[in-house]
Amino acid sequence: MDLIVNYIHKLKKYYHLLLFIAILLVPIDAGNTAEYQLVMKSLDNNSPDYTVGRDSKCSLHSLEMNRTEVDISYGKPNESKEREMKIVGTNFPNGRNYISGGCVVWSGMDVKAIIYLCTSCVEVRNKWLEKNSMEQIWFDRVKRILVDLNQ
């Protein structure tokens, strides 16, 4: 019994110190609440759905499109992507296997999104990319230079 009474007296002695430390730790935990929510958001695997309120038929081919999860690309596009973006609207408006998320990047941003993809647009885009990849462009340039040198 004396042991218990002795223990209670020690607890009373350190009660204010423990209370002070607990008060200091509460704001630290509250500061991490936003970070915790970002982590939980990334764990729930819910990609933003850009098909909501959009027609599911391709405006160019009038085909029913498939809902597909694609990457969200952040940052300034490279030269190849810029060229591609210029012709997207007319040649394959529903054929990109990614969407642009803008130039600004910060922690907790979505990395995947759900969009409609048209199989015909994807096919046209893939053919265009084969002919217009940076490697192909350089190959064609070198080939032209060699042909010009041989004439």
Report whether pLDDT(43) > 60: no
CA-CA distance, 110 to 15, in Å (whole number)? 45
Please tell me whether residues 52 and 98 are part of one structural domain.
yes
Please tell me whether residues 129 and 77 are part of one structural domain.
yes
Statement: the pTM of the whole predicted model exceeds 0.75: no
pLDDT, one tens digit per residue, over 77-100 is 887 778 778 888 788 999 988 888
Q: Which residues, listed in sequence order, are joined to residue 117 by a DSSP beta bridge?
A: 66
Of the two residues 44 and 128, the one the predictor is more confident about is 128
Q: Are 117 and 68 in contact (CB under 8 A)?
A: yes
> Could you say which DSSP state residue 1 is in?
-
Q: Are 86 and 144 in contact (CB under 8 A)?
A: no
Residue 111 lies in a domain: yes
Please tell me whether residues 59 and 116 are part of one structural domain.
yes
Q: Which domain holds residue 24?
A: 2-31
What total number of domains does the chain contain?
Answer: 2
Residue 38 lies in a domain: no
Instruction: Report the chain's C-alpha Rg in angstroms.
Output: 29
Please tell me whether residues 27 and 54 are part of one structural domain.
no
